[in-house]
Amino acid sequence: MAQESSENSSQLRSLVNVSLSLTTTTNLKVILNEIMNNARNVIQAERASLFILDEVVGALTCILNDGGQMPQTIPLSHGIAATAAKTKECIVVNDAYHDPRFNKTIDYIKILC
């Protein structure tokens, strides 16, 4: 019960932080960054990235990234993020390196978004 209370408190703090951002800025990138960081903290993820899906080009474009290096665009041909975009379903992966959908080429690209 104590752990559930702590998790609920953390989620509430995140909601308050996002609400404050919405009332203190009109900069969309700042607001999206605040939402992404708070969501990452709530689900205890190491990293988070935000992409825009371009179905015409067949790629994801990285608009925010809070850790590690990420290429500006990722093709929809393979990868966990591409699979989530194509299926329009949330995918939670605790160990991406051992997931067969993981796009290993991302680790070798040195361009930051």
Is pTM beyond 0.85? Reply is no
* CATH fold for domain 47-113: Beta-Lactamase (3.30.450)
Contact between 18 and 32 (Cβ < 8 Å): no
| Domain ranges (residues) in the chain | 1-45, 47-113
- Greater pLDDT, 71 or 95: 95
Band of the pLDDT at 112, cuts 50, 70, 90?
very low
Confidence label for 84 from pLDDT (cuts 50, 70 and 90): very high
The pLDDT confidence band at residue 101, using thresholds 50, 70 and 90, is very high
Q: How far is it, in rounded angstroms, from Cα 44 to Cα 54?
A: 28
